[in-house]
Structure 1
């Protein structure tokens, strides 16, 4: 999926007023995901994203200083929404709506196996934001 298409879908799904808001939301979500996912998995996800989105994800993964085998930070949905809200300048409700939209677009853009690995790496409360089918596949598989 090309960058413009990805941003357009995020804008539509999240009911955002313009592409700049959609761009901020997409970057905020992939950056926050990168902090939560194991570093190697975040880099694999970045490899399948358009260059601008990939850069945001790689920057967050690299900023953690973690090597490929290192687990991501342990935080749940409230902290996830808070980080996205701070990055987008919105409230947590808007951040949750935008996160769900970005995750739905990522589900369409990424290889299914990669989305399954991502779902497996997320705690159940964040996994609930994934599209229904993907969230159900990962149900009951709390990471250690």
Structure 2
């Protein structure tokens, strides 16, 4: 999937007013995912995404921040803070990004991403998913 198509799908599916908002939620979600998973897996995820989108993952992993442990509530809070949005809107948009990541990646990379998540965050990441993971 190309960058413009990915961002356009986020905007459409999350019912966002602008491409800028779609980019902000995509960036915020990917940066928060990158904080939650190990760097090797983050590299695998980034490699399967359009370069401009994958950079959101790489930017976090290049800072050598240790993998952090947090669940759904903290995940949503971080996405909302990064995207400058309220938590309900951030939760909805993040679910859309997860859904598109399922569609844009292969080799069960998103399944591997979810394996290290606590149950609440794993369930959150699958909400609305078409089950491609």
Normalised to the residue count of structure 2, the TM-score between the two structures is 0.91
Q: Which residue does the alignment assign to 2:79?
A: 84
- Gaps of at least 5 residues in structure 1 are 67-71, 138-144
1:110 to 105, 108, 114: 105
Q: CA deviation at 1:65?
A: 3.9
Q: Moved runs in structure 1, 4+ residues, more than 3 A? A: none
Q: Shift in Å at residue 112 of structure 1?
A: 4.4
**Count of residues in correspondence between the two structures:** 130
Shift of 1:102: 0.3
For 2:117, the equivalent position in structure 1 comes to 122
- What value does the CA root-mean-square deviation take over the aligned residues? 1.4
Alpha-carbon separation, structure 1, partners of 2:130 and 2:49? 22
Contact 1:35 1:64 in 2 (8 A): no
- Maintained 8 Å contact 1:14/1:101: yes
Q: Which residue of 2 aligns with 1:133?
A: 131
Give the TM-score taking structure 1 as reference length. Answer: 0.85
Contact 2:35 2:65 in 1 (8 A): no
Question: Take 1:86 and 1:65, find their aligned partners in 2: how far apart are those partners?
Answer: 19
Q: Which residue matches 1:141?
A: none
Alignment of 1:13-24 (within 5 A): 13-24=13-24
Map 1:1-144 to 2 at 5 A.
1-66=1-66, 72-129=67-124, 130=126, 131=129, 133=131
Gaps of 5+ in 2: none
